[in-house]
Amino acid sequence: MRAGKTLIDANVILRYLLDDDERMSKDAELIMAGGAYTLPEVLCEVVYVLEEVYGMSKRDACACLMMILHVVAIEEPRTMVQAILAYEEYNLDFVDCILLAKNRCYGDRVFTFDKGLQRHLGSNR
């Protein structure tokens, strides 16, 4: 994913989603259209900012994330789609949903003391 691609941060994604600064939003759109990629950690920050700073609902934040996955590349896209779906459905934070998705997609064992996450992991923890 690295060759010839541009790694983008949360600020680029937020300007693209929010379209709140004419110049930066246009630059974000251009760089994303030119073959950008991002990381799951960046999407965690995007979720936090959308919900905590901009007051966006969890449902709307999830819709934004799904849209971003159609515009930029990301490591383990299948896992990220599952994480977004879990985040919309469960009362877990987004990072926990990524862990849950890793468990469900790849069978990775997740060891946690978080009771909420433990409930969703079931016998696979």
Longest dimension (CA), the chain: 50
Domain boundaries, the chain: 1-75, 77-125
* pTM for this prediction: 0.89
Pairwise CA distance, residues 46 & 95, whole Å? 12
Rounded to the nearest angstrom, the gap between the alpha carbon of residue 15 and the centroid of all alpha carbons in its chain is 15
* Cα dihedral 94→108→69→84 (10° resolution): -30
Each residue's pLDDT tens digit, 51-90: 999 999 999 999 999 999 999 999 899 999 999 999 999 9
Q: How confident is the model at residue 122 (pLDDT cuts 50, 70, 90)?
A: confident
Identify whether the C-beta of residue 50 lies closer than 8 Å to the C-beta of residue 56. Answer: yes
Each residue's pLDDT tens digit, 87-119: 999 999 999 999 999 999 999 999 999 999 999
